[in-house]
Structure 1
Amino acid sequence: MKKTIRHWLVRLHRYSGLLLSLFIVMAGLTGSALAFNDEIDAWLNPQFYHVAASGERLPVDKLVAVIEHDYPQARLAFFAFDADPNAPLQARLRPKKAEQVLAVDTVFIDPFSAAVVGERNSKALSVMPQNLMPFLFRLHRYLLLDKTGAIISGSLGLLWLVTLLIGVALAWPRHGNGWRQALSLKRGAGRFRLMYDLHRSVGLVAGVLLMITAFTGAVMNLPDVARPMVSSMSPLTAPPKSSLRSGDVRIDWQQALDSAQASMPQATLARIARDDKHGLFQIRLRKPNDLQDSGSVRVFVDAGDGHVLHSLDPLKGSAGDAFIGVQFGLHSGQMLGLPGKIFVALPGLLPLLFTITGIVIWRQKRKSEKLVRERRLHQA
């Protein structure tokens, strides 16, 4: 690498890293916690994750009726089903009018008795136990700014990816026998050398994992950019459309669930949403050893006659479908189960290390450059 190019790459890496320091530390720490989102949330709010089973589970339509009766100011967006059969169902609510603000947007309901066992507002700026994990999620993905925050976060993620690539290129040994030195810490060295060795060696070891995290986060947060680019190389399967007129729904929620379940009996239910605009139900199913805990298979059921319009398993679709389908599983580590979550959680702590060591290196470099300038002025 020519000295001039290397000089400018060092400066670009240094100042982009400093610019991104607050963002990457926040994203890393919140991401580490979110890798175990359900486990932490269940520890903080056990009532949201387990009820005492008594009798048979009620039809979903009975639960829908309770939600619609108890929360008349809202509409039901979707029901989420936990993998544990004794867990409450999670009902996500949306305001009926755009200008409305809901005090409660998530309801947990006992599937055996239809009793509401918990409520929370996922958009609350609160770190109380019932709101902590949704707050961390919105901070991590949306910077608490909804869609605008997702665009900002995705763009910063791309800049972080470039910063990582430059860092790895700079740290890469110039000769094959230089790897031992590149991955080791010099004993007995001063603070500056220790910070430099940590910054370089840890970056080389964990660089690939961090780049995957930055890239997948950007893809998910910038769908309006990512999906057209992917579809230009491999077609993406478009959601089907029902012939039913807008708002004219004929089958109920339970019938839609039954149709989806019958189309893939080996899978378990993960989520159901009704799309009145397009006259269909979208059901997400969880396969054994699925890519993600929330299920990756989507089944579209006609809201008019209940027949399955289309089933989309990302790993059985096009290359583009597979690429988009694995992003969340890779980003969260859920694709590899518990080991994957650990692999995501631990590197999430590294941006803090890089920020600390990077600032120490930057301050020392500035001090050294200042001494050099003063020496030259004195000699002149």
Structure 2
Amino acid sequence: MKLNWRKQFFRIHRITGLIAGAILLLLSISGSILVFSDEIDHALEANAYHVTPGTQKQPLAQLLLHAKQSLPGKTPYLFFVRLPQAPDESAIIRAEYAADYKVYLFMNPYTGQVVHQHANKGYFTGFVLYLHFTLLSGKTGVKIMLITGILLFLSVLTGIWVYRGAIGKVLTFRVKLEWGNRTRRWRNLHRIIGVWALLFNALIAFTGIMLQLKVLDARKTTPKEYVEVPVKVDYDQLLAKAEAQIPGFRVMGIRPPKKAGDPIRFLGHAHEAAIWGTYSSSVNFDAGTGLVKKTVNFSQAAFGDKFAACIAPLHFGNYGGIALKILYSLLALTPGILSVSGFLIWYRRKFIIKTHQF
């Protein structure tokens, strides 16, 4: 018997879409929100991000000490997520207790006062982000989301095969919506949205899988209790030294050593393209001597490093202006729309048409 490849691909396309459907709807809504996470955060918590400028900023080591003293219980790993980039900006420090529990402290760089703090799930977009990657279920949720991403990618690939004959017709507007036709409305809607969102959904599925693998890797083992590593050098002196290592280098964050032997990492950018992120270039220093151990000028990075760096920006759409974000936000809804329309097509064929045949 000759194998009907189109039928087999259609079956895989239908099954993967139906299995992942409900979660894809959730991912679509949460992903559409997360495109504007920065704008939402600054609108909801404006007082956390801005301070009244003073005359003299406190030393960076002193800010870390104030952050440590403000947190009860065991000492977490502390690092600067974002240094102030303007006189009225807060310094943001992250305290890492575990993969699923982090605390963000917004500090006045002039007084050392903690002006605001919240846990990674204690603010709106943080909750949505945690939901998006873990289903609020830790490692189990991460695995479910990883499988969903793989199913979406398979659905896109099989969809290319199934609808290959319609791609040209859709892109040249020869396939009409026909909303008044009960037989064709959902099928045509599914086809039109699926074709126009084809490349985007393939991109989102692939980058989502890569990010989920990183999230899963962070939860492979239960982390040991953090032991603070002594730092014998001055962060402020190293900051000036780091910015002199790479032409145009702007330090955005600082990571102290997490374990003995680790360097102090100054992360930022030298005005590279936004698609590589804002922490792509770096200068590493020895925590004991302050000597430069490694310098990464990302404009000269290898293809593999650039590929890895663009995964998150490509997934979240935060590498362009507001027009790109609006486009991303709208396209992010398409997996959910496709899952609903795909379900309705399946339901109609499975139950309504069969029922009317008897």
Scaled by the length of structure 1, the TM-score of the pair is: 0.80
CA contact (8 A) 1:249 1:276 kept: no
Q: Which amino acid aligns with 1:195?
A: W
Whole-angstrom CA distance in 2 between matches of 1:106 and 1:225: 22
Matched, 1:90 2:88: no
1:349-374 CA distance string (max 9 Å, x none):
112211221122111111366258x6
Q: Which amino acid aligns with 2:32?
A: S
Q: Which amino acid aligns with 1:88?
A: S
Instruction: Tell me how far 1:51 sits from its aligned partner.
Output: 1.4
Change (3 A) 1:313 1:17: farther
1:354 pairs, out of 321, 327, 338, with: 338
CA contact (8 A) 1:35 1:333 kept: yes
Matched, 1:30 2:30: yes
Q: What residue is the counterpart of 2:148 in the other structure?
A: 156
Whole-angstrom CA distance in 1 between matches of 2:349 and 2:255: 56
The aligned runs of 1:192-203 (5 Å cut-off) are 192-203=183-194
The aligned runs of 1:1-380 (5 Å cut-off) are 4-71=4-71, 73=73, 74-81=75-82, 83-95=85-97, 105-124=103-122, 131-173=123-165, 178-179=169-170, 184-187=175-178, 189-223=180-214, 247-264=229-246, 266-277=248-259, 278-288=261-271, 289-291=273-275, 294-367=278-351, 370-371=354-355
Instruction: Tell me how far 1:93 sits from its aligned partner.
Output: 1.1
Whole-angstrom CA distance in 2 between matches of 1:49 and 1:90: 8
1:335-361 CA distance string (max 9 Å, x none):
334343233211111122112211221
Q: What residue is the counterpart of 2:221 in the other structure?
A: none
Change (3 A) 1:255 1:155: farther
Q: What residue is the counterpart of 1:238 in the other structure?
A: none
1:160-196 CA distance string (max 9 Å, x none):
11111111221122696x4567753254641331211
Change (3 A) 1:290 1:181: closer
Whole-angstrom CA distance in 1 between matches of 2:332 and 2:142: 19
Q: Which amino acid aligns with 1:114?
A: G
Instruction: Tell me how far 1:70 sits from its aligned partner.
Output: 2.1
CA contact (8 A) 1:58 1:114 kept: yes
Change (3 A) 1:350 1:252: same
CA contact (8 A) 1:301 1:310 kept: yes
Change (3 A) 1:179 1:346: closer
Change (3 A) 1:27 1:83: farther
Change (3 A) 1:224 1:187: closer
Instruction: Tell me how far 1:3 sits from its aligned partner.
Output: 7.7
Instruction: Tell me how far 1:28 sits from its aligned partner.
Output: 1.5
- Which of 1 and 2 has higher RCO (CA within 8 Å, sep 6+)? 2
- Percent identity reads 26
Change (3 A) 1:145 1:306: farther
CA contact (8 A) 2:274 2:320 kept: no
Instruction: Tell me how far 1:88 sits from its aligned partner.
Output: 1.0
Q: Which amino acid aligns with 2:263?
A: L
Q: Which amino acid aligns with 1:54?
A: G
Whole-angstrom CA distance in 2 between matches of 1:327 and 1:261: 26
Instruction: Tell me how far 1:223 sits from its aligned partner.
Output: 4.1
Whole-angstrom CA distance in 2 between matches of 1:224 and 1:37: 19
Whole-angstrom CA distance in 1 between matches of 2:179 and 2:325: 36
1:231-251 CA distance string (max 9 Å, x none):
xxxxxxxxxxxxxxx945321
CA contact (8 A) 1:316 1:322 kept: no
Instruction: Tell me how far 1:297 sits from its aligned partner.
Output: 1.6
| RMSD between aligned residues | 2.9
Change (3 A) 1:35 1:12: same
Secondary structure of 2:320's partner? Answer: helix
Consecutive unaligned residues of structure 2, counting only runs of 5 or more, are: 218-227
Q: What residue is the counterpart of 1:240 in the other structure?
A: none
Change (3 A) 1:71 1:136: same
CA contact (8 A) 1:290 1:296 kept: no
Whole-angstrom CA distance in 2 between matches of 1:196 and 1:313: 50
Q: Which amino acid aligns with 2:236?
A: Q
CA contact (8 A) 1:34 1:136 kept: yes
1:310-351 CA distance string (max 9 Å, x none):
123445222211211111121122233434323321111112
Whole-angstrom CA distance in 1 between matches of 2:318 and 2:33: 13
Consecutive unaligned residues of structure 1, counting only runs of 5 or more, are: 125-130, 227-245, 376-380
Whole-angstrom CA distance in 1 between matches of 2:293 and 2:249: 18
Q: What residue is the counterpart of 2:220 in the other structure?
A: none
Secondary structure of 1:94's partner? Answer: strand
Instruction: Tell me how far 1:267 sits from its aligned partner.
Output: 2.7
Moved over 6 A (4+): none
